[in-house]
């Protein structure tokens, strides 16, 4: 059974996701969480801002528990993990009908970052954690990568590309936008893989536009 603090955070995540941080009041959260009154709320949180930090962290932990866990899966080679992660992003967006993002750094986080310097720093830290996980994956995959690959720049590019594609798919309400970007992103990653690590057939399939995985393309 979830503790009361977790129930409040999850309730706040739901209501803020619907109407934004600025338009959400403490009373809205109390009603959503089924609390008896403000006393229960302020027992766990000193302010709405403190609750906002908890919401951002909660969103990221949910993201990390499923999505980022794929990037750390010891049963798969590094580049195959990246492929699974991209698939997870696309499938998650499709399941949500493109009405909300899979990433914790979406519309709510953007709004909060604009409202408060503390939130901005917190969202930035979340981006850094996500980027760092991808950089660690590429460092592990360095025997398959070209010698001069900048793992940090590549990781940041992937985060920025996926975030932009998630936003575009929400605006258009069309997961095909994200699918197209994912295909292009796989091609870009492949350009950083050593030629002798690629299977000729997989490369031909990729150029032909079929949906091949990064891991398979690199012969992993």
Q: Tens digits of per-residue pLDDT, 46-87?
A: 998 899 889 888 888 888 788 888 888 989 999 999 999 999
Residues of 205-215 as b/e, b for ≥16 C-beta within 10 angstroms? ebeeeeebbbb
Domain region containing 31: 1-46
Same domain? For 24 and 71 the reply is no
In a domain, 160, yes or no: yes
Q: In whole angstroms, what is the distance from residue 67 CA to residue 81 CA?
A: 10
Angle at 39 between CA 2 and CA 52, to 5 degrees: 60
| 143-195 pLDDT tens trace | 889 888 999 999 999 999 998 888 888 888 899 999 999 999 999 999 998 87
Q: Is residue 52 part of a domain?
A: no
pTM greater than the 0.85 cutoff: no
81: nearest Cα among 138, 37, 7, 124 = 138
User: How many structural domains compose the chain?
Assistant: 2
């Amino acid at each position: 059974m979830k503790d009361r603090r977790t129930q409040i955070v999850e309730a706040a995540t739901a209501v803020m996701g619907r109407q934004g941080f600025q338009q959400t009041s403490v009373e809205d959260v109390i009603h959503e969480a089924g609390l008896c009154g403000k006393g229960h709320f302020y027992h766990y949180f000193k302010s709405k801002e403190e609750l906002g930090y908890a919401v951002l962290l909660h969103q990221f932990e949910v993201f990390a528990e499923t999505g980022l866990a794929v990037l750390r899966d010891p049963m798969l080679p590094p580049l195959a993990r990246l492929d699974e992660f991209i698939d997870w992003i696309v499938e998650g967006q499709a399941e949500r009908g493109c009405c909300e993002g899979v990433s914790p750094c979406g519309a709510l986080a953007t709004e909060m970052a604009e409202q408060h310097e503390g939130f901005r720093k917190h969202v930035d830290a979340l981006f850094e954690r996500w980027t760092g996980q991808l950089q660690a994956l590429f460092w592990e995959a360095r025997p398959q990568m070209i010698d001069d690959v900048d793992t940090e720049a590549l990781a940041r590019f992937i985060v920025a590309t996926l975030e932009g594609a998630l936003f575009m798919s929400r605006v258009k309400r069309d997961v095909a936008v994200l699918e197209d970007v994912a295909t292009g992103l796989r091609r870009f990653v492949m350009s950083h893989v050593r030629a002798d690590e690629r299977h000729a057939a997989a490369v031909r399939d990729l150029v032909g536009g079929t949906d091949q995985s990064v891991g398979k393309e690199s012969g992993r």
